[in-house]
Amino acid sequence: MTSKSPEQISEEAKLLIVDYLNKIDDMKPKERTQIPVQEMPAQDPRQRIKNLDEVALGYTIEQARIEAMRCLQCVKQTCVDDCPVKIDIPRFIDHIAHGQMKEASDVIKEASLLPAICGRVCPQETQCQLNCAVGKALKDVDKSVAIGRLERFVADWERATGKVSIPEVKPETGKKVAVVGSGPAGLVVAADCRRQGHHVTVFEAFHKLGGVLRYGIPEFRLPNEIIDKEIETLKLMGVEFKTNFVVGRTRKLTDLMDKDGYNAIFVGTGAGLPMFMGIEGENLVGVFSANEYLTRANLMRAFEKGKADTPIYPSKNVAVLGGGNVAMDAARMAKRLGAEKVYVVYRRTEVEMPARKEEVAHAKEEGIEFYFLQNAKKIIGDEKGRVKAMECLRYELGEPDASGRRRPVVIPNSEFILNVDTVIVAIGNGSNPLISQTTPQLNVNRWGNIIVDETQKTSVDRIFAGGDIVLGAATVILAMGEGRRAAAAINKMLAEEIEKEKAAVN
Amino acid sequence: MNKILFKLQLSKDVYLMRIEAPLIAEERAAGQFIILQVDDEYGERIPLTIADADVTEGSITIIFQVVGKSTFQLSRMNVGNEIPTLVGPLGKPTHIEKFGTVVCVGGGIGVAPLHPIAQALKNAGNHVITIIGARTKDLIILENEMKAIADEFILCTDDGSYGRKSLVTEPLKEICERNPKPNMVIAIGPPIMMKFCAETTRPYEVFTQVSLNTIMVDGTGMCGGCRVNVGKEVKFVCVDGPEFDGHKVDFDNMIARLNSYKEFEKEMHNCYLEKEIQEKEAAR
């Protein structure tokens, strides 16, 4: 995104801020919009393709304050309206501008529990930053106030200064809440229910916590240390975690209530069932779901060759199918694992790509090649059943489809061959069938997503659900929004029960 | 958690372990498997069938063959040690009912997962014929246990060092030629054995169920590494299986996929053994 080194960026900000600090409260909107957009310092692309360290390094304090001063403190707060968890954005940004980081943090925490994560992985350009007045004035959404980067700054500042506050927990109620899945939705439910004094147990199928934050999103985008820290906070609040526990198999969902005495359950098992293209050659050796590829590299640590026992396929030329964040993660991971050529093959154009803009830009800097308006037709194997090439087709954009995006239409006889030895399929996930298979009374739609009402309640009494198992594949922040809603409903239900029990005793 | 309660070497490279796992013991049924890791930082996840379970003791039994680094490390663990990661029961349980005459074919280590299924079939009132085989006498396991269940018992070795000198497919063919032919065959063993069992029974149209042990990471449907072609469909062994109609499984593709990482695995194992030897020598 920038050719400037982190040192350069930092020095420039230090010089700039002196002038702005003198007139911090006296600037007119016009002046504010003329403050230069603060670029995100990043690791040099030539270096970072050899490591797993975080790419975006985060603002310096001067940068954060300058960027915060760009905010116009609008009366009509479109940023808040467009935030799925309704963070009071202008207020926390004003605190940053004035150097009040603790106060800024407190404002964010009123609405969001995991700012260090959201600041890194939210698609801000389609949410809070989409209708920002500054971006509108400058006629460029990329010039909106960098709300996500500021959120990240505050969360990182809090962690670095050791001033992480443990949310207050009310006296024990004696009620038990089971949370199935330790991904973003589950973590939010755990925190919100625990705050009300309920005993909370989080069940995780893997040996490590965090769900998609751990197995899916690579460290170069979201370091494990940050996930660990958030989970540590939950543990300090008294949340119990059980790993290596597959609800549905190790214990039936309903048995958690009938045998183990849980009073409510939240199902946040995610969208863990990779979709494939259904094309010829898709089971050849060298074709992977992005889930498998990323899980091997991230969760199973296959990136650390020589240390990890889990192998990862040795690739020279890799095609990644898809245009979302997962496709970007897989492509960039393949590069870091030593692939010489990595192609992202996407059947629409760059405009329609669902991936965060920053990730696409980072991928390009790292030498990932983008093949737009193309798609795989079949995968070709050698005599040993290993991938040796992929036949592709070219597309053009036609009329808009149901999603509002222009539908890609195949160009007849446009076949061509791409020489690759590895194909990573990143076209989305279906819903994992484990819970519904073993809990037949739970209503699901025809894609297997659990059906819930407006409070996230399922067809089974006391069972709630949220995140990708309800939404299909969505985003971290939407999952957290659903978790928040479910927790509110669970807390309300349990509070009413406690009242009734008290009334019965009296 | 997951403490090793009992360990027994069954043959040169084959070990039996009873491991504390009360919840899994309670929930598991014949045909299901677990996934374990000997190291929860850098270890790999290996799927192993549950050979038996004891609800009173709260334990499960696994039988495994040393084939690489992780199984080698597991074989070095002893009674009292804890297995850091153990998760299950995974996969769908075997469908058990009274089918009539069922032939249970087990090859090598495959006799371990076959045993609880044969037992359940016997309990359901089936006439159970068992055929167990291995390359050589030393690799035969659970002979007495299988004999105790079987209405008819056939043992063969490839080299003739014990029992009948033949592959398991020979007696299987003979049984298929009987009148009446058996109602069902269950074959569990090395992929190549299951492939040829399915080929043997195909002309006789005897339903042949196989239990697949593919590469897996999570074992809960999330990665798709275990996918196999079954007829015209793609199935995930971990959530749709592990048992499938052997006449529909594309074994050649499955075997190729099993060998995806063969070179890596060999290298890891050799490096590990060399390191161990060096360390021992250094200690001297």
Count structural domains, chain A.
3
Beta bridge partners of residue B106, listed in sequence order: B132, B188
For B182, which DSSP code? P
Say if residue B72 is in the same domain as residue B123: no
Structural domain tally of chain B?
2
Q: Does B140 map to a domain? A: yes
- The conformation of residue A386, written as its DSSP 8-state character, comes to B
- Going from the C-alpha of A101 to that of each of A97, A104, A160, B19, the distances in angstroms are 9, 5, 12, 52
Taking only residues 144 to 173 of chain B, the set having a beta carbon closer than 8 angstroms to any beta carbon of chain A reads none
Does one domain contain both A414 and A301?
A: yes
Q: How many CB pairs under 8 A join A and B?
A: 125
In a domain, A169, yes or no: no
CA nearest to A359, candidates A390, A389, A393, A322: A322
A383 close contact with B: CB closer than 8 A: no
pLDDT value of position B276: 72
Question: A288 lies in a domain?
Answer: yes
In a domain, A369, yes or no: yes
Residues of chain B with C-beta less than 8 angstroms from the C-beta of A215: 222
Angle between helices A89-97 and A61-69 (to 10 degrees): 120
CATH of the domain at B172: 3.40.50.80
Residues B28 and B119 in one domain: no
Q: What is the pLDDT of residue B108?
A: 92
Residues A489 and A343 reside in one and the same domain = no
Residue A339 is part of a domain; what is its CATH number?
3.50.50.60
The answer to whether residues B107 and B204 belong to one domain is yes
Predicted confidence (pLDDT) at residue B11 exceeds the cutoff of 70: yes
ipTM: 0.91
Q: Are B43 and B85 in contact (CB under 8 A)?
A: yes
Q: What percent of chain B has pLDDT over 70?
A: 100
Q: Does B234 touch chain A (CB under 8 A)?
A: yes
**Confidence at B238, pLDDT banded by 50, 70, 90:** very high
Q: Which of A207, A274, A437 sits opposite B85 (nearest CB)?
A: A207
3-state secondary structure of B166: coil
Whether residue B127 is found in the same domain as residue B200: yes
Domain presence at residue A366 = yes
Q: Are residues B116 and B63 in the same domain?
A: no
> CB neighbours of A441 closer than 8 A, spacing ≥ 6?
A254, A459, A460
In angstroms, the separation between the Cα of residue B160 and the nearest Cα of chain A is 33
Tell if the pTM clears 0.90, that is, is over it: yes
Domain that holds residue B162: 101-211
3-state secondary structure of B63: strand
Instruction: Identify the domain boundary among A397, A427, A457.
Output: A427
CA B274 to chain A, closest CA, distance in angstroms equals 14
The burial class, CB within 10 Å (0-12 / 13-18 / 19+), for A14 is middle
For residue B192, CA distances in Å to A383, A490, B167 come to: 18, 53, 12
Instruction: Tell me: pLDDT of B119 over 70.
Output: yes
> Is there a domain that residue B129 lies in?
yes
CA B229 to chain centre: 20
CATH number at residue B46: 2.40.30.10
Domain span including residue A236? 176-272+430-505
Mark whether A253 and A303 lie in a shared domain.
no
Say if B170 falls within a structural domain.
Answer: yes
B134: its two tokens: 């291995």
pLDDT at position A2 = 55
Q: Could you say which of B190, B211, B232 is where a domain stops?
A: B211
Please indicate, yes or no, whether residues A10 and A142 belong to a single structural domain of this protein.
Answer: yes
Residue A475's pLDDT is 85
Whether residue B181 lies inside any domain: the answer is: yes
User: Domain for residue A446, yes or no?
Assistant: yes
Q: Which helix (H) or strand (E) holds A213?
A: helix A212-215
> Residue A146: which CATH number?
1.10.1060.10
pLDDT, averaged per 10 consecutive residues of chain A (506 residues), comes to 82 92 91 94 93 95 97 95 92 96 92 88 91 95 95 94 83 97 94 96 96 94 93 94 96 94 95 90 96 95 89 95 96 96 95 91 96 96 94 93 84 96 94 85 90 95 94 85 94 95 85
Same domain, A243 and A288: no
pLDDT band at B273 (very low <50, low <70, confident <90, very high): confident
pLDDT at A190: 96
Same domain, A411 and A460: no
Instruction: Return the pLDDT at B282.
Output: 73
Question: In chain A, what is the straight-line distance between the N-terminal and C-terminal CA atoms, in Å?
Answer: 66
Residue B280, pLDDT > 80, answer no
Q: Which of A432-436, B208-212, B254-258 has the lowest mean pLDDT?
A: A432-436
A157-160 CB contacts, 8 Å cutoff, 24+ apart: A157/A61, A157/A101, A157/A105, A158/A101, A158/A102, A158/A105, A159/A116, A159/A226, A159/A229
At B18-34, the pLDDT tens digits run 999 999 999 999 999 99
Looking at residues B178-204, what average pLDDT do you find? Answer: 96
pLDDT of amino acid B271: 72
* pLDDT in the model for residue A474: 80
Hey, what amino acid is at A402?
A: A
Tell me if A385 and B256 make a contact (CB, 8 A cut-off).
Answer: yes
- Interface contact B87-A434, CB threshold 8 A: no
Residue numbers in B near A385 (CB within 8 A): 252-253, 256-257
Residues A18 and A123 grouped into a single domain: yes
Whether residue B267 has pLDDT greater than 90: no
What are B11's two structure tokens?
A: 């043959």
